């Protein structure tokens, strides 16, 4: 079965999903064995791979190594069309629908399409929404787009619904990696209750309780990057 089918199935059965986001640029190869051990001990259900400036050869090597030692689906979460590797299982085919920069709405997708056609990657159309989070994030800086107002729930919902109507299979609410504030729970709730497709939430979640809160609000999959990057024991915090 496809990775997307599994995500749908989990949503149906109310099994919440957790992705660890690995940025190939920030990985210390000497510590990779340790990191892999920690991932295998964690409750993660998916590995997302992406970053702002990833070089392709590192990407392939990293994924090949991870696949040998971790039995989780590896999903590309690309910052641009150079971040495609045939060794992964799937790719979030993102369109930054919160922004109005055509590069990230359709141009990069046009550039990537012929490359993706030559791979066996499962392609998962994803409406990607950047939400204001109390300071400028890398996504904002690189995409040159404005995040959505965190208090304008109606506009955020309309954006998510437009994505769904356009055929997106997932909506991803993004506060930005290392964000000061995570996506507001009221926004997660409002959107989760009014779309049918699965909802991903990430950015600025640095406590285990934050993950649970996002789930309770209606997130189907939560993404953790920085917190795990800074502390490989992040998911064992309750046992400390
Ligand atoms: C970033 O949503 C992810 O794209 C994860 O963010 O690094 O803040 O966990 P953090």
Number of domains, the chain: 1
69 has a pLDDT exceeding 80: yes
Please give the share of the chain, as a percent, with pLDDT higher than 70: 98
Q: How many CA atoms lie within 13 A of 46 on its CB side?
A: 27
54 has a pLDDT exceeding 90: no
Using the mean position of ligand 1's atoms as its centre, give its distance from the Cα of residue 172 in Å: 11
| Secondary structure (3-state) at 212 | helix
Instruction: Indicate the burial class of 202 (C-beta count within 10 angstroms; 0-12, 13-18, 19 or more).
Output: buried
238 annotated ligand binder: no
Confidence at residue 46, expressed as pLDDT on a 0 to 100 scale:
98
The residue whose two tokens read 């109390």 is: 134
User: Is the distance from CB of 54 to CB of 88 less than 8 angstroms?
Assistant: no
User: Is the distance from CB of 144 to CB of 101 less than 8 angstroms?
Assistant: yes
Confidence at residue 169, expressed as pLDDT on a 0 to 100 scale:
98
Confidence at residue 239, expressed as pLDDT on a 0 to 100 scale:
62
Q: Which residue has the higher pLDDT, 239 or 116?
A: 116
Does any domain span residue 28?
Answer: yes
182 annotated ligand binder: no
Is residue 223 within 6 Å of ligand 1 at its C-beta?
A: yes
Using the mean position of ligand 1's atoms as its centre, give its distance from the Cα of residue 33 in Å: 22
Q: How far is Cα 55 from Cα 86, in angstroms, rounded to an integer? A: 14
Q: Which residue has the higher pLDDT, 225 or 82?
A: 225
Using the mean position of ligand 1's atoms as its centre, give its distance from the Cα of residue 131 in Å: 12
User: Is the distance from CB of 154 to CB of 112 less than 8 angstroms?
Assistant: no
CA geometry: angle 154, 209, 79, nearest 5 deg: 60
Does any domain span residue 57?
Answer: yes
Residue range of the domain that includes 32:
3-233
Does any domain span residue 44?
Answer: yes
pLDDT tens profile 131-170? 999 999 999 999 999 999 999 999 999 999 999 999 999 9
Confidence at residue 11, expressed as pLDDT on a 0 to 100 scale:
98
Does any domain span residue 238?
Answer: no
Which CATH number does the domain housing residue 61 bear? 3.20.20.390
What values do phi and psi take at 238, rounded to 5?
-70, -15
Is residue 173 within 6 Å of ligand 1 at its C-beta?
A: no
Q: How confident is residue 76, by pLDDT bands cut at 50, 70 and 90?
A: very high
Is residue 174 within 6 Å of ligand 1 at its C-beta?
A: yes
Does any domain span residue 239?
Answer: no
Confidence at residue 52, expressed as pLDDT on a 0 to 100 scale:
77
Transcribe 1-44 into DSSP letters.
--HHHHHHHHHHTT--EEEEEE-GGG--GGGHHHHHHHHHHS--
Q: Residues 96-110: what's their mean pLDDT? A: 98
Is residue 177 within 6 Å of ligand 1 at its C-beta?
A: yes
Q: How far is Cα 75 from Cα 174, in angstroms, rounded to an integer? A: 16
Q: Residues 103-107: what's their mean pLDDT? A: 98
pTM of the model: 0.97
Transcribe 131-187 into DSSP letters.
B--SS--HHHHHHT-PPBPTT-HHHHHHHHHHHHHHT-SEEEEE--TT-SSPPPHHH
Please give the share of the chain, as a percent, with pLDDT higher than 90: 92
Give ipTM to 2 decimals: 0.98
Select from 109, 231, 226 the least CA-distant residue to 167: 109
pLDDT tens profile 158-210? 999 999 999 999 999 999 999 999 999 999 999 999 999 999 999 999 999 99
240 has a pLDDT exceeding 60: no
90 has a pLDDT exceeding 80: yes
Does any domain span residue 240?
Answer: no
179 annotated ligand binder: no
Using the mean position of ligand 1's atoms as its centre, give its distance from the Cα of residue 206 in Å: 9
| Secondary structure (3-state) at 122 | strand
């Amino acid at each position: 079965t496809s990775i997307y089918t599994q995500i749908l199935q989990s949503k149906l059965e109310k099994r919440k999903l957790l992705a660890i986001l690995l940025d190939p640029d920030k990985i210390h190869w000497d510590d990779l064995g340790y990191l892999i051990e920690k991932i295998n001990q964690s409750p993660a259900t998916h590995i997302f791979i992406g970053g702002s400036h990833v070089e392709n050869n590192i990407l392939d090597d990293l994924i090949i190594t991870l696949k040998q030692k971790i039995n989780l689906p590896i999903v590309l979460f690309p910052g641009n069309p150079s971040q495609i590797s045939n060794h992964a299982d799937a790719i979030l085919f993102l369109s930054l629908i919160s922004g109005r920069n055509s590069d990230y709405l359709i141009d990069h997708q046009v550039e990537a399409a012929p490359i993706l056609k030559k791979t066996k990657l499962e392609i998962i159309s994803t409406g990607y929404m950047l939400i204001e989070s109390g300071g400028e994030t890398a996504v904002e800086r690189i995409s040159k787009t404005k995040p959505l107002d965190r208090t304008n729930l109606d506009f955020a919902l309309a954006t998510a619904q437009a994505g769904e109507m356009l055929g997106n299979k997932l909506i991803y609410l993004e506060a930005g990696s290392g964000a000061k504030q995570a996506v507001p729970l009221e926004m997660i709730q409002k959107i989760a209750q009014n779309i049918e497709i699965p909802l991903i939430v990430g950015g600025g979640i640095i406590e285990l309780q934050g993950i649970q809160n996002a789930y309770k609000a209606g997130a189907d999959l939560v993404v953790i990057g920085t917190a795990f990057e800074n502390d490989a024991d992040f998911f064992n915090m309750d046992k400390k």
